[in-house]
């Protein structure tokens, strides 16, 4: 059986080429806002599904001890170039518990959730995060606002990056937002489909509660404006591990 899409696509160099123009200023502004809102100073935090570590590096620059984890070995190899005494990276599947470490906060940033075919895996991610947190620790999930995203899907797009023409088609199949990406590079044709479950606020609330969390706050964008399911681009959730849970 072939590997699931997220194990293949995120581990290609073409994924990094397509998304190379991600807005770093916006990412840093987001971290600045979260850092202030969450009252952080010298905590030990995990950047779960960290990619090449852009948020991890900045969180560490702000004085936090950081462990970045991601399934994509190529991304972790890149991220490791930034390592220092208080910044480390490792390959890891977010469904599993990263043993022997307890964090004050686990971040899951930039739509790094809802990738699995088996719905129980979403719950498994949150249960593992729960075990990786100190008592009273918090998880921060930065996800797309499914309702807004589905209502505003750009169905067809062509994007040229580094001389590669990426043909992108998006659609919603009733449960997942699908983004098909076709391109030709180095004489070969490629065809990948990102598949993200349209997890709503209510879905998160149910999953987080079942995993032993209570939602404390939600925001609707990187500036931390209020979440509004009709109009917000993002669904950003801060949830706290409940007392009495392990």
Ligand X SMILES: C[S@@+](CC[C@H](N)C(=O)[O-])C[C@H]1O[C@@H](n2cnc3c(N)ncnc32)[C@H](O)[C@@H]1O
C-beta of 96 vs 162, nearer to ligand X: 96
C-beta of 26 vs 228, nearer to ligand X: 26
- The phi and psi torsions of 5 (rounded to 5 degrees) equal -55, -40
Cβ atoms of residues 183 and 200 within 8 Å: no
Which 131-190 positions form the footprint of ligand X (CB under 6 A)?
Answer: none
Q: How far is the CB of 242 from ligand X (least distance, A)?
A: 24
| Residue 94 host element (H or E) | none
Distance CA 155, CA 170 (A): 5
How many chain residues touch ligand X (CB under 6 A)? Answer: 19
Q: How far is the CB of 243 from ligand X (least distance, A)?
A: 28
Which 64-93 positions form the footprint of ligand X (CB under 6 A)?
Answer: 70-72, 75, 93
60 touches ligand X (CB under 6 A): no
C-beta of 180 vs 242, nearer to ligand X: 180
Interface characters, 101-120, with ligand X (x: CB under 6 A): --------xxxx--x-----
54 touches ligand X (CB under 6 A): yes
Q: How far is the CB of 47 from ligand X (least distance, A)?
A: 7
- The phi and psi torsions of 122 (rounded to 5 degrees) equal -60, -45
Q: How far is the CB of 108 from ligand X (least distance, A)?
A: 8
Q: How far is the CB of 174 from ligand X (least distance, A)?
A: 22
Q: How far is the CB of 111 from ligand X (least distance, A)?
A: 5
Q: How far is the CB of 6 from ligand X (least distance, A)?
A: 4
36: three-class secondary structure by DSSP? helix
Find, among 89, 106, 2, the residue nearest to 46 by Cα.
Answer: 106
Any idea which residue has 């939602």 for tokens? 215
Residues 71-76: contacts with CB within 8 Å, 24+ apart? 71/6, 71/7, 71/10, 71/11, 72/7, 72/10, 72/11, 73/11, 74/11, 74/12, 74/13, 75/10, 75/11, 75/16, 75/50, 75/51
Reported in sequence order, the residue ranges of 35-116 that DSSP labels E, i.e. its strands, are 44-48, 65-70, 87-91, 103-108
C-beta of 150 vs 242, nearer to ligand X: 150
**Cα angle: 205, vertex 207, 51; to 5 degrees:** 100
C-beta of 135 vs 177, nearer to ligand X: 177
Cβ atoms of residues 118 and 93 within 8 Å: no
Interface characters, 32-51, with ligand X (x: CB under 6 A): -----------------xxx
C-beta of 115 vs 204, nearer to ligand X: 115
**Site for ligand X, rule CB under 6 A:** 6, 10, 49-51, 54-55, 70-72, 75, 93-95, 109-112, 115
């Amino acid at each position: 059986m072939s590997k699931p899409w997220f194990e293949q696509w995120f581990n290609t160099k073409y994924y990094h080429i397509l998304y190379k123009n991600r807005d770093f200023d916006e990412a840093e502004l987001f971290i600045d806002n979260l850092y202030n809102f969450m009252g952080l100073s010298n905590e030990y935090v995990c950047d779960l599904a960290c990619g090449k570590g852009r948020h991890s590096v900045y969180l560490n620059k702000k004085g936090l001890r950081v462990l970045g984890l991601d399934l994509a070995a190529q991304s972790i190899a890149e991220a490791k170039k930034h390592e220092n005494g208080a910044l480390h990276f490792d390959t890891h599947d977010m469904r599993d518990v990263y043993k022997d470490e307890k964090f004050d906060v686990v971040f899951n940033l930039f739509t790094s959730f809802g990738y699995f075919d088996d719905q129980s895996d979403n719950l498994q991610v949150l249960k593992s995060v729960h075990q990786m947190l100190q008592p009273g620790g918090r998880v921060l999930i930065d996800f797309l606002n499914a309702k807004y995203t589905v209502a505003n899907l750009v169905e067809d797009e062509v994007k040229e990056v580094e001389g590669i023409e990426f043909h992108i088609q998006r659609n919603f199949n009733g449960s997942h937002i699908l983004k098909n990406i076709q391109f030709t590079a180095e004489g070969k044709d490629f065809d990948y489909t990102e598949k993200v479950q349209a997890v709503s606020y209510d879905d998160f609330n149910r999953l987080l509660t079942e995993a032993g969390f209570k939602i404390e706050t939600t925001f609707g964008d990187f500036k931390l404006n209020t979440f509004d399911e009709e109009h917000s681009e993002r669904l950003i959730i801060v949830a706290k591990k409940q007392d009495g849970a392990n």
